[in-house]
Structure 1
C-alpha cells in the first residue's frame, strides 16, 4: 500500500481562501484547488492508495470545528483518507478533545506552530504530549526561512521534545526542517531516535540533488515517509522528483511510498474496522 503522509484538504467554503493564503505565504502556485475531491483524483493518478489529510486549528476556537471536519473526512472516505486532528495549547478542554478524537478513530494530530500562533517550546504543550504518548502520532511542521532562535518550530525545539517524551511518536515534516536542513542534519539525524520519522514534503522544490541525497542517506531508510504537502505540490510530480533527485532505485522508492504502513497505530482504525466486519 502506498501512502502520502502529508496532505491538506479544506472545507469547500474556505478552500479557495486557504489556497490563496498558501500561495502568498510560500510564494508558490499551488498545484491543487484544496478540495478533497481534487486531492483524491491527483492521488489516484499518482498511484497512491491512501493519503493522510492534516487539519490544524489556527486559534483555540477552531479546535472543535477543525477536528469535526477531520472526523467527517475519515468517515466519508474510509478507504482513502486517514485524517489527523489538531490541538492548540490555548484550548483548555484539550483532554476531552483527545478523548473525542480517539473515540472517533483518529490516530494522529497535526501541529503547525508557525500558523497556529504558538511555539513548539510552549510549556502548555507538555501535559498534552504526556497524555498523547501511545495514543496518537504527531505530524509536526518544522522550520522556516528565519533563524532557529526566531522560529517557533525549529529542529532544536523538536529534539528537546523527543528527548523529554521518548514514547511520543513524531513525524518531522519536510525532512525535519523546512529551509533548515543543515540544522536538521546536526540535531535530528545525528543518531537514530526510536520515536521519530521524517516526511519528504516541501523539500525537493528548494533543495539541490546533492542535498536530497544527503538527507536520504542521513535518515534510517525505514523512517522516511513519502509526503507531498498537497495542494502545494502534485503527488505524481513529487514522486518523480524525489526519485530522480535522490537517485533512488525503484525498490527504494517503493519502500519510501510504503513505509507509513508500518508506522505504529496509523492503520489501527482500519484493522479494527476489518475485524468488526469479519
Structure 2
C-alpha cells in the first residue's frame, strides 16, 4: 500500500485563508486548494492509496476542535488516516488521549514552531510517557535558524528519542527542515528503533548530493514518503524525489510503502 504520510486539509470554510497564510508565510504558491476533496483527487492521480492528514492546535482551546475534525475526516474518507494533536498548555490531555484513542486516531502531530512551545518543554514529558504505547508522533523538526534558537531542532528530538525508546516518532522533513547537516549529526550514524523520517518539504531545498547523503545515512526502510500538501503536489514530489535521489522504481515504491510497516508495528505493539 502506498501512503503519503504528511498532508494537511482544512475545513472548506477556511481552506482558502489557510492556503493564503501558507503562501505568505513560506513565500510559495501552494499546489493545492487546501480541501480534502482536492487532496484525495491528487493522491489518487499520483497512485497513492492513503494519506495521513495532520491537524495541529496553535492554542490549547483548539485541541478539541482540531481532533474532532481529524476524526470526522477519517470517518468520512476511507483513504484518510487521521492524526490528532495536543498542546502542552491543554490541561485535560489525559482525557483527550483516551478520547482520540477510542475514536481511532493513529497518531499525534506536534509543530512546536507554530504551536508556540519548545520541544524540550517539560510539560511534554508526561504526555510522551502516557501516549507512547498507543500513538505515533509526527513532529515538525527544524527551521532556518541556529539550533539553539529553534524550538524543534534535531538535537532536542534526539534527546526525546533516547529518553523514550518506545515512543514512535516520525521526524518530519528528513529530520530537520533547512537543518539537514544538523540532522545528519544528531540523528545519523546510529540505528534508533523508534525513529522514522518523512521526505516532506525537503526536495525543493536540498541539493541532489545532500539528498543522496541523507538517503545513504538514514535507514532506507525508515524513510516515508510525504508531500506537505497543499504546499506540494504528490505527483510532482514523487518525480522530484526519484530524480534527485537517483532511485529506481522499486526503491521509490519502497519509500512509498514503508509507512505500511510502521502502522503494522503499531498494531502489534512493537517498534
> TM-score of the superposition, structure 1-length normalised?
0.95
The corresponding residue for 2:136 is 137
* Distance (Å, rounded) in 2 between the aligned partners of 1:33 and 1:203: 21
Residue aligning to 1:273? none
Tell whether the 8 Å contact from 2:134 to 2:266 is kept in structure 1 after alignment: no
User: What is the CA-CA distance between 1:265 and the residue it aligns to?
Assistant: 5.2
Corresponding residue for 2:255? Answer: 256
**Residue in 2 aligned with 1:69?**
69
Whole-Å separation in 1 of the counterparts to 2:124 and 2:28: 31
State how 1:104-253 maps to structure 2 within 5 Å: 104-253=103-252
Aligned mates of 1:222, 1:216 — CA distance in 2: 10
Give CA deviations for 1:67-115 in whole Å, capped at 9, x if unaligned.
000000000012x000100000000000000000100011100000000
CA contact under 8 A between 1:4 and 1:52: conserved in structure 2?
A: yes
Count residues in correspondence: 268
Unaligned 5+ segments in structure 1 are 269-278
Once the two structures are superposed, what CA deviation does each residue of 1:173-218 show, in whole Å capped at 9, x if it has no partner? Answer: 0000000000000011120100000000000001111011011111
Q: CA deviation at 1:27?
A: 1.1
1:81 matched residue in structure 2: 80
- 1:227-262, CA deviations, whole angstroms, 9 ceiling, x for partnerless residues? 000000000000000000000011110100000000
Question: 1 CA distance for matches of 2:181 and 2:266?
Answer: 32
Residue 28 of structure 2 aligns with which residue? 28
How far apart, CA to CA, are the structure 2 residues paired with 1:19 and 1:266?
34
Aligned 8 A contact 2:55 2:70 in 1: yes
**What SS class does the counterpart of residue 212 from structure 1 fall into?**
helix
Tell me how far apart the structure 2 counterparts of residues 113 and 20 of structure 1 sit (CA, whole Å): 21
SS in 2 for 1:38: helix
C-alpha displacement at 1:264, in angstroms?
4.0
Q: Is the 8 A contact 1:136 1:265 kept in 2?
A: no
* Cross-structure match for 2:91: 92
Residues 108 and 266 of structure 1 are in contact (CA less than 8 Å); yes or no, is this contact kept in structure 2?
no
Deviation at 1:267, TM superposition (A): 7.5
1:5 is matched with 5
8 Å contact from structure 2 (residues 46, 234) kept in 1: yes
Moved over 3 A (4+): 264-268
| Per-residue deviation, residues 88-144 of structure 1 (Å, max 9, x unmatched) | 000000000000010001110000000000000100000000001111000000000
Structure 2: where are the runs of 5+ without partners? none
Q: Deviations over 1:32-78 (max 9, x none)?
A: 00000000000011000000000000000000000000000000012
How much has 1:17 moved relative to structure 2?
1.1
TM-score for both structures, normalised by structure 2: 0.97
8 Å CA contact retained: 1:107, 1:265: no
In the TM superposition, residue 9 of structure 1 has moved relative to its aligned partner by 0.2
